[in-house]
Amino acid sequence: MVGTDLLCFERTLREENMSFKSLIRYRPESNFYSFAGIPVLYHCHHFNLFLDQTIQDALGIEEGILLQKRAAHIASYRFLSKVVEEVGVQTPIERLQLASKLFSYMGHGKLHFQANQDGGVVRGDFLHYGYTWKEKYGQVVSRSEPTDAFGGGFAAAAVEVAFGLPYDSLSVEETSCVAQGQGSCEFQLQRQVPREALPPMLTVEESERAIQTPHIESEDEGRVQSMALKLKDFFLSLESDERGLLQGFGVFVVMHLAEYYNRISYEGFYKIVDEKPFVIDMMTELLRESGHVCGFHTFGGILLSPEWEGLFGSHHGDPKEILLGGLAIARALGIGHCGLSSWDEGKKMVMQASGSYESVFHAQVYPQTSGGMCFFYQGLAGALVHLSCSVPWKDEPKFDQKLYYSLFQDPKRNGWKVKETRCLSHGDKFCEISAVRE
């Protein structure tokens, strides 16, 4: 597929008069981000790896990777089309440069395109998924399957958008991956007859009009929102390093497409409901766990960081202070407008949210459910009660695997039971999660 007529784009990116930041909007009332009108949010590598792993465990590795590539392809095609439209770049080479720059800007690593409308090769360096998998697990286990389904879907979409092709005109295969022990990642793109049209999706504005939710007031609302806005400014000021990665608070962070997370979670979930309903509880538990592991590592790391101290002063590990800080972080990351509804110290916590990035998607795409569907949010609630009640803050703990296992080896999680009692997906006006210590 790679011929002499291939365009080579290994050149230094020109300083173009575009600013990605000007395309990012943060809605203080919903605490959601959009990038060129497409919902995005920040997430950490702990969450990303665990979520991808859970999908592959549930569906099987091959089918899981297929679902992830498709979700990445759809979400990235929609996203890149909008960015290209907003920025107004016309030529394929400019569009590919834009895609490459965008990928790094969001903390996903580096993509080098050697491809045209017929396909080609895309090399990936320091890709968020592969690189962080190697960092986190590479010393413990080996892996025979590639990890960068998102990078692959993004690469295929980038070439399609660059050359004005319809969605799904290119197939993509990751043929080399650092997680498998190779030096870099590589994707092979091949031209194909599109098998499907791009599934429709509401824009942020349209979905806000379609799903109207009441404004939730947290305990100490003014303080929580003020912290959230300061943190949001801080997150937006972060710049990826020379590897194209965003590293801070002891984790790797990415700005990610909410549609990717939601498609892999819910399409995976409903496939299991249809085909293997007997494992749905286990899948749900592990989807929650991806939120729990993120809440613990990322939120814990932020709360203990010098940046936090610089912005808000040091805290003393007061449980309510930790909870409110955690909710401010959630708002700043773009999880949604969540607040502390009630807190009976060490016994019960109730959190409410006007909507999470999960429930807003689920409510517009899927029929009403019989229970809560905000899996990340449920896991986060569990992590927050543990951060507030189980972590020895005065000892300045290190939020590493060792501390995590020492706290959560017990599957009963120190008696805390978390339940989503209301959810937009269920037809409720807002989402509500309670954590009760039994």
Binding site for other proteins (CB under 8 A): 50, 53-54, 57-58, 61, 136-137, 140-144, 276, 278-279, 282-283, 285-286, 289, 293, 404-405, 408-409, 411
Tell me the closest approach of the beta carbon of residue 398 to other proteins, in angstroms.
18
Of 17 and 142, the one with the shorter C-beta distance to other proteins is: 142
Chain centroid to Cα 116, Å, comes to: 29
Please give the torsion angle defined by the CA atoms of residues 153, 154, 159 and 165, in that order, rounded to the nearest 10 degrees. 60
Q: Are 160 and 170 in contact (CB under 8 A)?
A: yes
Tell me the closest approach of the beta carbon of residue 433 to other proteins, in angstroms.
21
Of 4 and 409, the one with the shorter C-beta distance to other proteins is: 409
Tell me the closest approach of the beta carbon of residue 126 to other proteins, in angstroms.
21
Neighbours of 318 (CB within 10 A): 13
Of 144 and 237, the one with the shorter C-beta distance to other proteins is: 144
Of 25 and 134, the one with the shorter C-beta distance to other proteins is: 134
Of 71 and 286, the one with the shorter C-beta distance to other proteins is: 286
Of 258, 211, 210, 189, nearest to 37 by C-alpha is 258
Of 122 and 283, the one with the shorter C-beta distance to other proteins is: 283
Of 61 and 238, the one with the shorter C-beta distance to other proteins is: 61
CA–CA gap between residue 274 and residue 99 (Å, rounded): 37
List, edge to edge, every strand of the sheet that includes 32-35.
Answer: 24-27, 32-35, 38-44, 251-257, 246-248
Tell me the closest approach of the beta carbon of residue 406 to other proteins, in angstroms.
10
Tell me the closest approach of the beta carbon of residue 145 to other proteins, in angstroms.
9
Tell me the closest approach of the beta carbon of residue 1 to other proteins, in angstroms.
31
Tell me the closest approach of the beta carbon of residue 242 to other proteins, in angstroms.
28
Of 102 and 179, the one with the shorter C-beta distance to other proteins is: 179
Tell me the closest approach of the beta carbon of residue 180 to other proteins, in angstroms.
9
Of 61 and 198, the one with the shorter C-beta distance to other proteins is: 61
Tell me the closest approach of the beta carbon of residue 305 to other proteins, in angstroms.
24
Of 136 and 271, the one with the shorter C-beta distance to other proteins is: 136
Tell me the closest approach of the beta carbon of residue 362 to other proteins, in angstroms.
21
